[in-house]
Amino acid sequence: MMSDQHTTLGILGGGQLGRMFATAARTMGYDVVVLDPDPNAPAAHFATRHLCAPYDDAMALDILARTCAAVTTEFENAPSSSLDALARHCPVRPAASAVAIAQDRILEKSFFRDNGIPVGPFVVARTPEAFHRAIADIKYPAIIKAARFGYDGKGQVRVQSADEALQALADQPSLLPVVIETLIPLRLEISVLLARGANGQIMFWPVAENRHQNGILEITIAPARIRVELAARACKIASDIADRLDYVGILAVEFFVTGFDTLLVNEMAPRPHNSGHYTLDACVTSQFEQQVRTLCGLPLGNPELLRPAAMVNLLGDLWANGTPPWEVIFQEPNAKLHLYGKQAPRPGRKMGHFTVLGNSASEALKKAMRLRTALGMTD
Ligand code: ATP
Ligand code: MG
């Protein structure tokens, strides 16, 4: 579906991912309608129209159904009932069935295990009784993760023992239902970002290397500094997941790498991913342009990396003393600043990112670390 003067694309969710999708779509000639209940949704300024309403609002869904040629989502918590309702009128990519699995850690982990996808040890508990049984069955230290609505490490508690796990549930009974995972000794975290078209064709961006702090992505380095064989293994696992789901759109798969180069899948995201933001500045086709292409059934663009890159997230903490000294970034000619237009810089909130290009991944990382320090960010 090529763009003409009247082709409109819809997106559920108007955060930074929706904003970057809208920018790509409008650049390519489409109109964009964003559904998001937040009047200050970052995507609103870049959209042709902002429907400020809940994600299950019947009137808003009706407008999307009547005006959009196709609809996508920027976050996994979009109600699958809304996606299903829209799918009766126009293509919805990815499908509600795939989003439903990714939005529930219990369904997601079970889907991986049932399909031979490698995952670390975990147990599931939906009730307090099941929780008591589960905490006796898992090795410690462990992480308790709420099955739904977690992101950036929210809804997660790390515990050293069964006693601490009991205490965590007593403190926060609303955590249930949960997945409890043994803490994996990580050598590295990597992510595979792929696009899968409606015809089943898959294209990969280079595997990215990720560093987290307090459960939040801090830095992404591309390409990951790993052996070609390990990267190929990760890509194969990610494409198996996409094929099993008959997935159409952008899919990110997060991996843990252990000391023996064993790969364990952590989770997947049925959308563009924070670890793929470097593609905006470092690749022929960004993850957001590719999202538009998969949504519209256009041929996939070339995901090739033009220059190695490092991407650094800018969290609200950085605003503690007012606007950060952006001149630091503008003075580096190979750096690109991206701000998401969010009004309230709360600690831990993703406010923007910057990407630095280099001759190698290590050189890009070195420049990125220098800029972080100059901005006043500590390790
Ligand atoms: P995000 O939205 O940023 O992806 P999330 O809230 O979905 O985060 P996870 O991806 O489950 O959370 O976990 C965030 C980070 O916490 C992981 O990238 C990893 O660094 C650490 N972590 C989570 N689970 C484990 C585990 N079982 N073993 C070791 N580290 C873990
Ligand atoms: Mg994660």
Strand partners, 189: 210, 256
Q: Which ligand is nearest to the CA of 350?
A: 1
Average pLDDT of the residues of the chain = 96
Rounded distance, CA 86 to CA 253, Å? 26
Amino acid letter, residue 51? L
What is residue 322's three-state secondary structure?
coil
Shared domain check, 334 and 215? yes
Shared domain check, 225 and 210? yes
Q: Is the dihedral of CA 183, 152, 147, 207 positive or negative?
A: negative
Strand partners, 220: 210, 311
Residue percentage of the chain with pLDDT more than 90: 96
Rounded distance, CA 199 to CA 215, Å? 36
pLDDT in tens, 336-371: 999 999 999 999 999 999 999 999 999 999 999 999
pLDDT in tens, 173-229: 999 999 999 999 999 999 999 999 999 999 999 999 999 998 899 999 999 999 999
pLDDT in tens, 83-132: 999 999 999 999 999 999 999 999 999 999 999 999 999 999 999 999 99
pLDDT at 143 over 70: yes
pLDDT at 52 over 80: yes
Which pLDDT belongs to residue 7?
A: 95
**Is there a contact between 178 and 146 (Cβ–Cβ < 8 Å)?**
yes
Domain range holding 12?
8-92
Shared domain check, 197 and 168? no
CA atoms within 13 A on the CB side of 376: 13
Q: Ligand 2 centre from 344 Cα, in Å?
A: 23
Question: Can you tell me which residue has the tokens 């808003």?
Answer: 60
Which pLDDT belongs to residue 6?
A: 72
Amino acid letter, residue 162? A
Shared domain check, 178 and 194? no
In a domain, 159, yes or no: yes
Q: What are phi and psi of 326, to 5 degrees?
A: -60, -20
pLDDT in tens, 1-12: 776 667 999 999
CA atoms within 13 A on the CB side of 347: 5
> Domain tally for the chain?
3
Shared domain check, 314 and 360? yes
Q: What is the CATH number of the domain that holds 82?
A: 3.40.50.20
Q: Of all protein residues, whose CA lies closest to atom 21 belonging to ligand 1?
A: 215
Q: What is the CATH number of the domain that holds 253?
A: 3.30.470.20
In a domain, 340, yes or no: yes
Q: Which ligand is nearest to the CA of 348?
A: 1
95 closest CA partner among 107, 82, 109? 82
Task: Give the number of other CB atoms < 10 A from CB of residue 213.
Answer: 12
Shared domain check, 250 and 363? yes
User: Which tokens in the block code for residue 363?
Assistant: 């050189």
Q: Ligand 2 centre from 266 Cα, in Å?
A: 7
Cis-peptide, bond into residue 91, ω within 30° of zero:
no
Q: Which ligand is nearest to the CA of 215?
A: 1
Shared domain check, 145 and 44? no
Contacts for 34-42: CB closer than 8 Å, 24+ residues apart: 34/10, 35/10, 35/11, 35/60, 35/61, 35/64, 36/12, 38/14, 40/342, 40/343, 41/14, 41/15, 42/14, 42/15, 42/16, 42/18, 42/340, 42/341, 42/342
**Ligand 1 atom nearest to 186, measured from its CA:** 29
User: Where among 162, 182, 202 does a domain terminate?
Assistant: 182
In a domain, 108, yes or no: no
In a domain, 109, yes or no: no
Q: What is the mean pLDDT of residues 226-249?
A: 98
Shared domain check, 155 and 61? no
Rounded distance, CA 33 to CA 36, Å? 10
Which pLDDT belongs to residue 3?
A: 65
Q: Ligand 2 centre from 67 Cα, in Å?
A: 34
In a domain, 2, yes or no: no
Rounded distance, CA 339 to CA 342, Å? 8
Shared domain check, 279 and 332? yes
Ligand 1 in contact with 332 (CB < 6 A)? no
Shared domain check, 289 and 140? no
Q: Lowest-confidence range among 33-47, 138-152, 277-291?
A: 138-152
CA atoms within 13 A on the CB side of 134: 24
